Amino acid sequence: MTAAKKLNLKQKYQYLTRNMDWEPSYQKKSDIFPQEDFEGIKIVDWDGWEDPFRLTMDSYWKYQAEKEKKLYAIFDAFAQNNGHQNISDARYVNSLKLFLTGVSPLEYAAFQGYSKVGRQFSGAGARVACQMQAIDELRHSQTQQHAMSHYNKHFNGLHDAPLMHDRVWFLSVPKSFFDDARSAGPFEFLTAISFSFEYVLTNLLFVPFMSGAAYNGDMATVTFGFSAQSDEARHMTLGLEIIKFMLEQHEDNVPIVQKWIDKWFWRGFRLLSLVSMMMDYMLPNKVMSWQEAWEVYYEQSGGALFKELARYGIKPPKYQDVANAAKEHISHQLWTTFYQYGHATNFHTWIPKEEEMQWLAEKYPNTFDKYYRPRLEHWDEQHKKGERFYNNTLPQLCQVCQVPVLFTKTEDPTSFSHCDTVHEGERYHFCSEACGEIFEDEPAKYVQALLPVHQIYQGKSGGPELPQVLTDYYHINIGEDNFDYVGSPDEKRWNEIKGIKPLNKDTDAA
Amino acid sequence: MAVKAISDYTAVPNDLVENFNGMQLLYVHWVNHNMFCAPFTLLVSPDATLPEVFGSHIQPATAPHPESAKIDYEKIKWELNGEPFTPSQTETLVSQGIDHKSMLRMTTPGLNGLYNASF
């Protein structure tokens, strides 16, 4: 008697993605997969779908379980050893507040999105790939929350991230990004998330956060980063595979995919402006500047990618040049925005110390001293006089990306790149031509946007006055979570941990 | 273009003027004063005059800027929704075309922001 030969990985994958699928006989295929055609993408042969990793359930489970075991052992050690005391400076924790409210809920949204589209394709290979990614995203959302939960015991602003994600004004930027993608058809969702987000832009999100964690002594978050790295590599590969698959299936797909690339590159770029300020301003120990990161991870990697896609007739994203030119500005523009609305955030803001100003001036020789240092020094003076600047009037928001209309023109960095349009008798405002163009393509989608500023003025955010909005609706604890870092309970606690005398801003641990 | 959808796709705008309880939105941008990171969004009565809105909303909004106190209302150059505009002192906002979600840009000759940086 001979033992049954064990299946190899390739055979297992073949069974999972091809042989377990079947042709329906008493239901129409279009009834079973009703969302497959309406976007106009034509798939002639789903067997052309190749998952480069050929992951099967048993190997996935085994591999992830091993990673999980190690990860939680480190979380436990971090908590038992009071790992939060070894970070560079308590200002660092504010980038975790931004991550936990802005990014971790997106992982959950991605889980929902992939679960949904994983049901919508008639090709079993694509369905399996989406289901695996859905599980990854759920796991990332959970492990990120567990990695950061230790900080919630010692610092403010981390206590209600999911609610804040749904309600707080600036978090509508990431939220609306994913809502836009999830409410699109399955192929647009994959272009938006698997390709533009995971492939083109993900390094600009993960490298700064995870290297930032490493540079600032946050072992819990670094370990999460390592544990997610192999998943992210898989997602990136899949993102490219998906695009090539669509492009190879039918030439009619090319203009549709191009339009989505143009749109989702821009939406991703706007979303990442939050990361730009995190890198340049919120990390006490800096990794690299936003400009350097953009040059390495977009201009070089993206350049190579779009060269590769040129043979399919795909061009680089339409507004890529605007994004490239903005690399010298956006982090400063974002930070000065959050600084002035720092009474309405769940994290602290501050004026950089002099050595940080010097670093910024070195990294941004064309722009920092000319445009942005004077702002920061002016506000620093005001603060020292006891008149810390807060902007008490709500800003105009872009109808599409929902960022305040703060970005400036490429040719004139002192004037806003605002534009507007009238659609069916209503006027709409945008931060840029690119966002305006996204609106013009699908106005019916974006006229429904819940812009937080307008929601407040409609009386739908807890009350007519800002303090009520902040406490009752946003769950921000006034005087604890918000306002300047200097004088905050976080700063006080950190100084106690480190034995630093209070109110000695320029001499504490850098 | 219409939204590509699996069925007829219709939508009601979220920010129609009737959702603002008798008030309307007005955006105001003080040109060359980027201390304020973006144009302001104000909630105003459509029956107010512009001088009233200037006193009740615009001045308090711009007050933190050192040049704010020096603004001479008479000398302000206005643009309404991208076009040069000469406002009336007595007509209501809505009767002179400053309707819901209109944007006013105000330029203040001689006051061009601080530090030669439009701040």
Chains A and B form CB pairs within 8 A to the count of 138
Residue A2: predicted pLDDT: 61
Q: State yes or no: pLDDT of A47 exceeds 70.
A: yes
**Given this model, what pLDDT does residue A18 score?**
79
Q: Which residues pair with A420 in a beta bridge?
A: A429
| Mean pLDDT confidence for A148-154 | 96
What is the reported pTM? 0.96
pLDDT of residue A58: 86
| Mutation for testing the A interface, residue in B9, B17, B41 having most A CBs under 10 Å | B41
pLDDT at A510: 41
Minimal Cβ distance to B3: which of A371, A404, A442:
A442
Mean pLDDT of A433-462: 97
Q: Compare CB distances from B119 to A374, A395, A404 and report the shortest one's residue.
A: A374
Chain A residues near residue B35 by CB distance under 8 angstroms: 340, 375, 378, 389
Q: Which residues of A touch B39 (CB under 8 A)?
A: 395-396, 405, 416, 418
For the cut 90, the answer to whether the pLDDT of residue A81 exceeds it is yes
* Burial category of B72 from C-beta neighbours within 10 Å (exposed 0-12, middle 13-18, buried 19 and up): exposed
* pLDDT the model gives residue A12: 86
Q: What is the 3-state secondary structure (H, E, C) of A326-386?
A: HHHCHHHHHHHHHHHCHHHCCCCECCCCHHHHHHHHHHCCCCHHHHHHHHHHHHHHHHHCC
Q: What is the pLDDT of residues A298-320, one digit of tens each?
A: 999 999 999 999 999 999 999 99
- For residue A28, give every residue at least 6 positions away whose Cβ sits within 8 Å of its Cβ, in sequence order, or none: none
Q: Is A454 on the interface with B (CB under 8 A)?
A: yes
SS3 category, A293: helix
Sequence-separated contacts (24+) of A210-215 with Cβ below 8 Å: A211/A287, A211/A288, A212/A92, A212/A95, A212/A278, A212/A279, A212/A283, A212/A287, A215/A88, A215/A283, A215/A285, A215/A286, A215/A287
Residue A501 clears pLDDT 80, i.e. is over it: no
Residue B40 phi/psi, 5-degree rounding, is: -80, 150
Report whether pLDDT(B92) > 70: yes
Chain A residues within 8 A of B113 when measuring between CB atoms: 414
| Cβ atoms within 10 Å, residue A498 | 12
Restricting to A residues 341-360, those with a Cβ less than 8 Å away from any Cβ of B are: 341
- pLDDT at position A509 over 80: no
Contacts of A371 in chain B (CB under 8 A): 117
Task: Work out the burial of residue A96: count CB atoms within 10 Å of its CB; fewer than 13 is exposed, 13-18 middle, 19 or more buried.
Answer: buried
Average pLDDT for residues A281-297, to the nearest whole number?
96
Rounded average pLDDT over B9-36: 97
Q: What's residue A393's pLDDT?
A: 97
Place of tokens 């980027």: B34
Residue among A283, A363, A296, A304 nearest A328 (CA): A363
Q: What is the mean pLDDT of residues A417-433?
A: 98
Quick check: A505 pLDDT over 90?
no
Q: Summarize the confidence of residues A423-450 as an average pLDDT.
A: 98
Distance CA B44, CA B24 (A): 6
The answer to whether the Cβ–Cβ distance between A337 and B37 falls below 8 Å is yes
The stretch A63-78 carries a mean pLDDT of 95
User: Could you report the per-residue pLDDT of A322-336, keeping only the tens digit for each?
Assistant: 999 999 999 999 999
**Residue A332 corresponds to which amino acid?**
H
Residue B49 CB neighbours (<10 A): 18
Return the residue matching tokens 């989505």.
A260
Q: How far is CA B20 from CA B14, B52, B60, in A?
A: 11, 19, 21
Q: How confident is the model at residue A503 (pLDDT cuts 50, 70, 90)?
A: low
Say how far apart CA B58 and CA B60 lie, in whole Å.
6
Kindly tell me if the per-residue pLDDT of A51 is higher than 90: no
Kindly list the residues from chain A whose CB atom is less than 8 angstroms away from the CB atom of residue B23: 457
